Structures are given as structure tokens and as C-alpha cells.
Amino acid sequence: MTSPALSVLDLVSVRTGQTSAQAVAASLALAQRADELGFRRYWFAEHHNMPSVASTAPPVLIAAAASRTTRIRVGSGGVMLPNHAPLIVAEQFAALEAIAPGRIDLGIGRAPGSDPVITQLLRATGTAGDVERFPSHVQDIALMLRPEGATVQFTSGGEYAVRATPAASATPEIWLLGSSDYSAQLAASLGLPYVFANHFSGQGLERALELYRSGFRPSETLAEARTFLTANVVAAPTADEAEERALPQLRMMARLRRNQPLAALETVEQAQRGLQEAGDADERSLIDGIRSRWFVGAAADVRASVADFATRHGVDEVMISPVAGAYDGDALDAATGRAQTLELLAG
């Protein structure tokens, strides 16, 4: 069985008693470790107003990670484009490409990454938020990132040149992200590489890949379909420890699915007590359903399962979201369980 290349998706999780500064420090140390271990890329997600997630500004985190790494590609998984003006996104990622030439990925998504109230606040200026224009905004960004830039055509006549940066020598690699038929078909029609967000929802994976691959149209930047998959992963020295470290994130996902109030991520001990005290059969059933789509266990078993997953779906790369929780005694400025997952998978 051929082992796929491994990459990392980071939501910069925040656990009970941890400050955002400590959470960010832990994630940046994790990015450094992923670089040392030979992982292919390290992406930051965009989420807003969630007590357990500190990845609100991917470009800022990408810049910090790029300055602390030397080889690994760093990027967004993804920038939620309806929240931002295309020119701002193009300028930010052109600047990142100048900071870390040849190592920047721009993953773009169509979802808002938050609740309706926050979505309205993000779009309050009126410069973004038109979901119907998502395809053209993706194309606009790609054009503005090119060294030659794009041209604005005025209805009254005349042209105006627009460049994301004045003297670009290279451009970030653009990926389209999604968990629906729409994103798969759009990526295919634009000739862009595509990532199915399997870590978020495993529903529709096979159909999305088939739509993307069968409908792919070669573009100037990509001759044939290119895709990889994401997955939630916890690896530990023993299966029991892996199951324990998975529980805090499983409980958080169950609350999210049930529209319950969210809080900072529990520690393992808090999650165990909470599950036992609640005695909620519906929660346990929901957790079991979510857990069935994750890769959790001892290192050798998880490595084999991830490799089989890649083979079954015809991809040579899997981007793991290391969702291992922390014990009460784990350092607040380190991601001990997540780092352990990376180290065991790389081993």
C-alpha cells in the first residue's frame, strides 16, 4: 500500500483555560513541527465568533507560520470569499507570496464560516457578500495575482490596469474548496485544483469527486484534475489514549450539530465527566456517528487506514485535521496531542 503525502489543516483550537495567545503559539509550534517532519502543506481555516476556534484571520497566521518554517507550503483552508473584497484577498496573498516565494496556497471557499449575525457584520461595507458573483470573484483574484495583472473595462470607454502587487515574479497556487456538488463543478469548469471538505461532512464525497474529475476542463495553470481529501485524525501510542483525546472535539461537534451553545474546547477529563454526568443517549449516538468517519487509534492502524482511504478515492495526498484534545496537565502553550498525531503518522 502506497503512503499518501500528508498535509495539515489547523483551526487553532482553544481549550478551557487557554488564552488565544497560547493557542496561536501552540499552532505555530505545530506548523514548525510539521515542517520538520516533512508534511507537504499547512493550511489555516477561517472561522468567526467561535469560543473554541482562533483561526479568524488566515493571512495573518500564514505570515507568522511562513516566518517560522523553511520548506512546507502554507496557506488557507480556506479564505471564505463572500466575506472579503476580491482585491483585498489578491493583495494579501500577493504579499504572502513575496514573503515566502513558492510556498503559498490560496484555498478559497464559498461558505461564510460563521453564523448569520457575524456574516452580516463581516459584509457591512457592502464590498463583498454577493454569493452569486462567487465564480467571477474567483476569476478576478486569479487575474489580479498574475504579474501582468487584470484590466478593468469602463462602460464609458477606456481601461484601467489592476495588479495585486507591482512587480510580482510568481503567484500563489489557487485551490477551490467545498463540500457540495456546486464547488466541485465550479472547480472543474475553471480548471482549478479542488479539495473536498471531508473533515466537515463526509456526505457526497464520491459524487463530488466524480463530478470534478469527469467535468474537468484544462486551464492555463492546470492540465489535468488535481485533488486531495481532508480527514479528522487522532493517533496515539495506544487506541485507548487516541479515543480519549478524540472525545473533546467529538463533544464539541455534537453540540454544534444540535445547535447548542458553544464554549472553549474541553480537556479530556472535562469531556469524560460531562459525558458521564449528562447521560444523554442522543448525544452518545451522535458522537458515535461522527466518530465513525474519523481515523482514531494506535499509530500503525491509523497510518494504514489513511493510506487505504487515499487509495480508495484515488488521491495521493490527505490533509489531516489533527483533532486530538489535551489532558488537564498538558502545557497551555503547546499542542501535545496534535503534535503526537503528526509525529506518529510521519513515523
pLDDT in tens, 55-79: 999 999 999 999 999 999 999 999 9
What residue ranges define each of the domains in the chain, with the CATH number in brackets? 5-241+294-346 (3.20.20.30)
Asked if the model's pLDDT at residue 1 lies above 70, the reply is no
pLDDT at 128 over 60: no
- The owner of cell 485507548 is 240
With beta carbons less than 8 A apart as the criterion, state whether 224 and 204 touch. no
Q: What is the mean pLDDT of residues 121-149?
A: 79
Residue 306 to residue 308: CA distance in whole angstroms: 5
Burial of 297 (0-12, 13-18, 19+ CB in 10 A): buried
Check pLDDT > 90 for residue 37: yes
Summarize pLDDT for 198-213 with one digit per residue, the tens.
Answer: 998 778 899 999 999 9
114 pLDDT tier (thresholds 50, 70, 90): low
Question: What local confidence, expressed as pLDDT, does residue 124 receive?
Answer: 60
Kindly give, in sequence order, each residue whose CB lies less than 8 Å from that of residue 293, ignoring residues fewer than 6 positions away: 198, 202, 232
Average confidence (pLDDT) over 336-342: 98
Amino acid at residue number 69? T
Higher pLDDT, 7 or 262: 7
Confidence of residue 82 (pLDDT cuts 50, 70, 90): confident
Mean residue pLDDT of the chain comes to 92
Q: Are 183 and 212 in contact (CB under 8 A)?
A: no
pLDDT of residue 111: 79
pLDDT tens-digit profile of 243-277? 999 999 999 999 988 988 889 999 999 999 999 88
Tell me the mean pLDDT in the region 281-301: 94
